[in-house]
Amino acid sequence: MKAAASDKTLLADAVAELIEALHQKYPGIKTKPTPHVEDEDFTIEVEVPPQLSLEAVESECHKECIRL
């Protein structure tokens, strides 16, 4: 059980870091957790305001996930 709790803590820290990095780079985006999809450990929805590029934000999301 201790390993599972540790894994959950690491995941929570990574998600928090991901969201913080995205909000710093793209002020105005909104993020919220969504129900898990199939075998994913977590999923979030990112709402991108019209003045920002959806493609740029999506690309940065992928880069940050890989970095973490």
Give pLDDT tens digits for 7-37.
888 988 999 999 999 999 999 999 999 998 7
Distance from the Cα of residue 45 to its chain's centroid: 8
Give pLDDT tens digits for 45-62.
999 999 999 999 999 999
- Residue 1 has a pLDDT of 47
* Confidence grade of residue 41 (pLDDT, cut at 50, 70, 90): confident
- Residue 4 has a pLDDT of 64
- Residue 2 has a pLDDT of 57
- Tokens for 35, please give them: 């129900």
Domain range annotation of the chain? 2-67
31: nearest Cα among 8, 68, 60, 2: 60
Residue 6's region, left for phi above 0, alpha for psi from -120 to 50, else beta, is alpha
